[in-house]
Amino acid sequence: MEETKAAAWRWAEENDLLLSPVARDKMLRTRPELWISLIFPGASQQHLDLFCQWLFWAFLVDDEFDDGPAGRDPRMCGESIARLVDVLDGEKPLAPMEHALAGLRDRTCRDRSPAWNRQFRRDTAAWLWTYYAEAVERAAGQVPSRADFTRHRRDSVAMQPFLDLHEITAGTDLPESARSLPAYIALRIAVTDHSGLCNDICSFEKEAVLGYEHNAVRLIQRDRRATLQEAVDEAGVQLARVAERVQRAERELVEEIAVAGIEGPARTALERCVRDYRGLVRGDFDYHARAERYTRPDLVEVDRRDTLSRHFAA
């Protein structure tokens, strides 16, 4: 983990992602190397390093568009996200964050199948565009319904791309027939829902300081006119129910593998998902209890900039 941390900071420097003292302290409290190590405990050093650099990059995106001026300006946000998605699709990078993305994309995608690349592109682009959706709603003074937010959160928590990256460290590449099994889709959704709700429970105090409304606990509180403790308690009950959905999807996936007649490498790969995803959920849960990004809301500083970080500016 320490080697992965050192590699991530070297990578940031090499890509001209030199953080301000405040941003540096925030990233140190975030500990991306811890999350990667907890959810991929059996990964090689090479994969830990690559995945941690993806997460470092993702947290920079998150902090810029959740906390920075682009999160309050839909036009600024939309233009910036469009640039990142264009680079993901092969356009020439201009800003430091775009150059960093191009490098990560090339290192990650060059040896993967077309099916895997389609899914990873779709999942990554869907995550990026959630920042634009939130900026628009924020500017319009709108708050999503709880049902709409649940669907939105499946993309905005950014777990789906890391489920794709799991295939790399697992040495698998699922065919479309395996990706299309209803229980496999349900398992991914349940894992993602658990991560999003866990994150919202642990982020609520930090996000309340920033006036951030796209949080499940806050929406429960508004919808039910509940106290904070009542909203947190209800979110905890929901989290337990999501964990039950993970277990149910695991059982159903085993049954569907059999009735679909899936054998050979595809069966092995799906069985690996059944084994690993529960550990991934547990690792994500443990991370939120250990990283100061979530345990120290008193350290949050309000971002008062009115322009994009130079990392995003061409």
pLDDT, tens digit, for every residue of 166-191? Answer: 999 999 999 999 999 999 999 999 99
Question: Is the CB of residue 271 less than 8 Å from the CB of residue 258?
Answer: no
Angle, CA of 273, 35 and 39, to the nearest 5°? 15
Tokens encoding 164? 């794709």
Q: Average pLDDT, stretch 269-298?
A: 93
Confidence (pLDDT) at 68: 84
User: Which H or E element spans position 239?
Assistant: helix 228-259
Binned at pLDDT 50, 70 and 90, residue 233 comes out as: very high
Residues 5, 11: Cα–Cα separation, whole Å: 10
Confidence (pLDDT) at 122: 98
* DSSP structural state of residue 91: P
Question: Is the CB of residue 47 less than 8 Å from the CB of residue 169?
Answer: yes
Question: What is the tens place of the pLDDT at every residue in 125-139?
Answer: 999 999 999 999 999
Going by C-alpha positions, the residue among 281, 299, 282 that lies closest to residue 159 is 281
Question: What is the tens place of the pLDDT at every residue in 179-222?
Answer: 999 999 999 999 999 999 999 999 888 777 666 789 999 999 98
Q: What is the pTM of this model?
A: 0.95
Confidence (pLDDT) at 204: 83
Confidence (pLDDT) at 230: 94
Q: Average pLDDT, stretch 142-150?
A: 94
* DSSP structural state of residue 67: I
Instruction: Classify each residue of 199-220 as buried b or exposed e, where b means 16 or more C-beta atoms within 10 Å of its C-beta.
Output: bbbbbbbbbbebebbbbbbbbb
What percentage of residues in the chain have a pLDDT greater than 90?
85
